[in-house]
Amino acid sequence: MKKALSSLGGLVYSTDAGRMCPDCRQPLADCRCKANAAAAALAAGDGVARVSRETKGRGGKAVTVVKGVALDAVALAALGKQLKAACGTGGTVKDGVIEIQGDHIDKVMAALKAQGHTVKRAGG
Ligand SMILES: [Zn+2]
């Protein structure tokens, strides 16, 4: 079995186009391991929450985006709820990113600071 796997290993790395992910054994083009790891790393971040305003691809409608908050998914969802309430608007929490509808950078940053988070304003 071990031999079969290692010969498979030699095969899957033979060409760039045919490269497979060693973790999920999907073609790299379809592999989400790296993206998931990157999202997790981004979500865990360096303990600094980054708040930005984004409008791209949303028909010009602004959303306030919070990334890098060092909280687990449950706590992050709760925080998202608090931020929505503080801003009196809607929003989503997905993949470690909180999105608050509208341009509420100042309110969001103040709310995060009040909870003891280190906050930076990011581009956008
Ligand atoms: Zn993979």
Domain span at residue 31 reads: 10-44
What is the CA(27)–ligand 1 centre distance, in A? 8
Same-domain check for residues 32 and 56: no
pLDDT for the residue numbered 16: 52
Same-domain check for residues 74 and 16: no
What is the CA(100)–ligand 1 centre distance, in A? 31
Neighbours of ion ligand 1 (CB under 5 A): 21, 23-24, 31, 33
CA-nearest of 92, 94, 88, 122 to 107 is: 88
Same-domain check for residues 36 and 58: no
Same-domain check for residues 52 and 103: yes
Residue 2: DSSP 8-state: H
- The amino acid at residue 116 is G
pLDDT for the residue numbered 24: 87
pTM over cut 0.95: no
pLDDT for the residue numbered 6: 46
Rounded to 5°, the CA angle 56-36-50 comes to: 50
pLDDT averaged over 10-residue windows placed end to end, the chain, 124 residues:
48 58 84 73 70 82 90 91 96 93 96 92 78
What is the CA(40)–ligand 1 centre distance, in A? 14
pLDDT for the residue numbered 83: 96
- How are beta strands 91-94 and 48-54 bridged, if at all? unpaired
What is the CA(18)–ligand 1 centre distance, in A? 13
**Is 2 among the domain residues?**
no
**Is 39 among the domain residues?**
yes
What is the CA(32)–ligand 1 centre distance, in A? 5
The pairs formed by 11-16 with CB atoms below 8 angstroms and a separation of 24 or more are none
Residue 114 Cα distances to 2, 79, 81, 90, 118, angstroms: 55, 12, 15, 20, 10
Is the distance from CB of 103 to CB of 88 less than 8 angstroms? no
